[in-house]
Structure 1
Amino acid sequence: MNSPHVVFYRSMNLGHAGSPDRATLEGALSAAGARGVKSFQTNGTVLFDTDDPLGVVAEAAKTLESAAGYTEPALVRGLDLLVDVLDSDPFDGHEDARTYRKTFTFFDGGRPVELKLPWTNTKDDVDIVELRDGLALSLIRKEKSNAGSPTAEIERMFGVPATTRTLGTIERLVKAAGRG
């Protein structure tokens, strides 16, 4: 059996306009052939098992569009990747007193980009500390009510849709999967 997978839906907020509710989301993935489907939090993060993760997510997308009008991208990663990243402690030595959040930004493909890491945006509110294939690990800062957006930075640089989760979300997800 393959390692569990996680699908990270972009701009999903369960139960809100333009997004499915939890039952619809989990039902769409189950009907598409996923096993052990567990929606995690309300941000469109779902743990599941299957031998064909991309096919399952593509099939579920049809149901999500017809049932809730949801058409945003879905980014799939193996749980093992997340465990490996957490085990590597990638944020060690990068945060300071201004750090607001540690984040994981998921994206697929895009134009080639070379960055000298750590990289800081011009607003000085996002530091990308590590890039892996389809994953940017970042620190964000928050001035007053505006936090930096690694999603916006990755979408601008790579020219592809992206979605971001906090380190805390990833840690709780891995723990919920019995791996943390």
Structure 2
Amino acid sequence: MVFYRSMNLGHPGSPDRAALESALSAAGARGVKSFQTNGTVLFEANDPLGVVAEAAKALQAAAGYTEAAMVRGLDLLVDVLDSDPFDGHEDSRTYRKTFTFFDGGRSIELKLPWTNAKDDVDIVELREGLALSIIRKEKSNAGSPTAEIERMTGVPATTRTLGTIERLVKAAGLG
């Protein structure tokens, strides 16, 4: 599967669902299913990284989309969900539980759980290319684990909620 950064299907600078699915299929993906409108796509491929790299050319041509894409396997998400990483970290201020995907960049060295200076993001677990966080929302502003991870690593990141990940795994027939 692939998690695109800053994609909003059908909006300026992003492809529509048909263009997104077509680009991945033409690049060799099978069983392509765009999930929601945020650039989360379930697919199968012998070379998922190669498929996403090839599809990027079509997405740029079709919609001018040039943002990062993070490819992950379902096994990672199932493993994370099975480990219940948010247990014991929630409180009455919890707004969302999130998965933030990133590739490369500077190493993150934190004592976990870690809380940002604004007290609206707690990173509770780090895995290679994945930060699991709890965010809080004061008034209309929610914490941004994406911004925190991008600041720490210097590379693009993208975030999905726990609910999105749970629905994605279920749609794949594993949840």
TM range (shorter): over 0.9
Q: Structure 1 residue 75 and structure 2 residue 70: aligned?
A: yes
The amino acid of 2:40's aligned partner reads: T
Q: Which runs of 5+ in 2 are unaligned?
A: none
Per the TM alignment, residue 112 of structure 1 is displaced from its structure 2 partner at its CA by 1.6
Matches within 5 A, 1:17-166: 17-166=12-161
RMSD: 0.4
Quote the Cα distance in structure 1 between the aligned partners of 2:138 and 2:73: 34
Deviations 1:110-162 (A, max 9, x none): 11221000000000000000000000000000000000000000000011100
Q: Cα deviation per residue 1:4-32 (whole Å; 9 max; x = unaligned)? A: xx100000000000000000000000000
Q: Percent identity?
A: 89
- The CA distance in 2 between the partners of 1:91 and 1:56, in whole Å, is 32
Count of residue correspondences: 175
Report the TM-score when normalising by structure 1.
0.97
Structure 1 portions without partners, runs of 5+:
1-5
Task: Please identify runs of 4+ aligned residues in structure 1 that moved more than 4 A.
Answer: none
2:11 aligned partner: 16
Alpha-carbon separation, structure 1, partners of 2:15 and 2:83: 34
Which secondary structure state, in structure 1, belongs to the residue aligned with residue 79 of structure 2? helix
